[in-house]
């Protein structure tokens, strides 16, 4: 899928229908069940020695005060825990000027996480998009990034790529679900395959003994006034989503 859709990177994404990528058998586990970690076998092409490579899931996020970034880091841990798959962290470009960010007391960004370009999206075998809510919808920074993907939409370069969401809200009724609902339109127009987590987190989805973010649509965190840190349950759900997405991407990967 994409440039990373096999054991050896391809040069160009094939249009849908020109290749046969069957889904492999196997059930998707819930929390407490073992996850399949069968590595993809390498291939050989004439004199070319095949090189086994990992499938890559891009974790593309916008985080103003660090809450979404915290989920993204834990999500990468979950992805990396599945054999044959790796998570790659990316930020989307900031749209606010530095003087405004200073007035809002926004902490500096981690330079170790690069800003993604639109063209790089086609390199991913799966995508997880993370963003805070703004009145029940994604933040302007993430929307601006999606708005810049017009050429990829025109050529349907992302069609068939599995994708999911994780979010943050300031309050319990602030849009944990609506933020994901309203973001699905972006995937639909690109032809991407929306992958919710459902209730695969098991008992962790039903506990009522503490406040936690996260829904069947994806992991989530409550930020409060900005000072509340993600709870261990919220982080564990993010890690689970990473593992879950990794198993889905492996099932959609073309055979070698």
Give the pLDDT of residue 51.
58
Lowest mean pLDDT, pick from 16-25, 29-38, 205-214: 16-25
CA 135 to chain centre: 22
Burial 46-79 (b: 16+ CB within 10 A, else e): eeeeeeeebbbbbbbbbbbbbbbbbbbbbbbebb
**pLDDT value of position 1:** 52
Which of 58 and 108 is assigned the larger pLDDT? 58
Q: What is the mean pLDDT of residues 105-109?
A: 89
Contacts of 117 (CB under 8 A, 6+ apart): none
The stretch 196-207 carries a mean pLDDT of 90
**What is the C-alpha to C-alpha distance for residues 125 and 56, in angstroms, rounded to an integer?**
5
Do residues 253 and 125 make contact, with C-beta atoms less than 8 angstroms apart? yes
Confidence of residue 34 (pLDDT cuts 50, 70, 90): very low
What's the average model confidence in pLDDT over 33-53?
50
Total number of residues shown for the chain: 256
Q: Where are the domains of the chain?
A: 2-7+54-96+103-252
* Whether residue 120 has pLDDT greater than 90: yes
d(CA 73, CA 113): 10
What is the model's pLDDT at position 113? 96
**Is the CB of residue 165 less than 8 Å from the CB of residue 183?**
yes
Tell me which of 7 and 241 has the higher pLDDT.
241
* Residue 14, pLDDT above cutoff 70: no
Query: Sign of the CA dihedral 80, 144, 170, 209?
Result: negative
pLDDT of residue 229: 84
Coil, strand or helix at 160: coil
∠ CA 29-238-21, rounded to 5°: 50
pTM above 0.75, yes or no: yes
Cβ atoms within 10 Å, residue 117: 12
CA 90 – CA 113 distance, rounded (Å) = 6
Q: Which residue has the higher pLDDT, 87 or 104?
A: 87
The confidence score (pLDDT) of residue 17 equals 44
Task: Give alpha helix (H) positions in 5-120.
Answer: 67-80, 98-103
Across residues 55-78, what is the average pLDDT? 95
Residue with more model confidence, 52 or 117: 117
Q: What is the DSSP letter of 104?
A: T
Domain 2-7+54-96+103-252 homologous superfamily, CATH: Flavodoxin domain (3.40.50.360)
Average pLDDT over residues 47-60: 76
Q: In whole angstroms, what is the distance from residue 90 CA to residue 75 CA? A: 13
């Amino acid at each position: 899928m994409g440039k990373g859709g096999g054991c050896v990177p391809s040069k160009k994404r094939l249009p849908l229908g020109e290749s046969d990528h069957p889904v492999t058998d196997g059930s998707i586990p819930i929390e407490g069940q073992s996850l399949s970690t069968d590595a993809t076998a390498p291939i050989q092409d004439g004199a070319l020695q095949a090189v086994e490579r990992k499938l890559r899931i891009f974790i593309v996020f916008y985080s103003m005060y660090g809450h979404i970034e915290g989920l993204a880091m834990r999500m990468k841990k979950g992805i990396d825990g599945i054999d044959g798959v790796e998570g790659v962290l990316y930020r989307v470009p900031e749209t606010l000027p530095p003087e405004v960010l200073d007035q809002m007391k926004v902490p500096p960004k981690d330079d170790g996480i690069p800003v993604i370009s639109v063209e790089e999206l086609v390199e991913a075998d799966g995508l997880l998009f993370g963003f805070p809510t703004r009145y029940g919808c994604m933040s302007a920074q993430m929307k601006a990034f999606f708005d810049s993907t017009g050429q990829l939409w025109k050529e349907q370069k992302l069609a068939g790529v599995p994708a999911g969401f994780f979010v943050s809200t300031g309050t319990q009724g602030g849009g944990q679900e609506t933020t994901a609902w309203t973001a699905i339109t972006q995937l639909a127009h690109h032809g991407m395959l929306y992958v919710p987590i459902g209730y695969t987190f098991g008992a962790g989805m039903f506990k009522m003994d503490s406040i936690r973010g996260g829904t069947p649509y994806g992991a989530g965190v409550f930020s409060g006034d900005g000072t509340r840190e993600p709870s261990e349950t919220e982080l564990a759900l993010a890690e689970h989503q990473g593992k879950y997405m990794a198993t889905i991407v492996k099932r959609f990967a073309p055979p070698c």
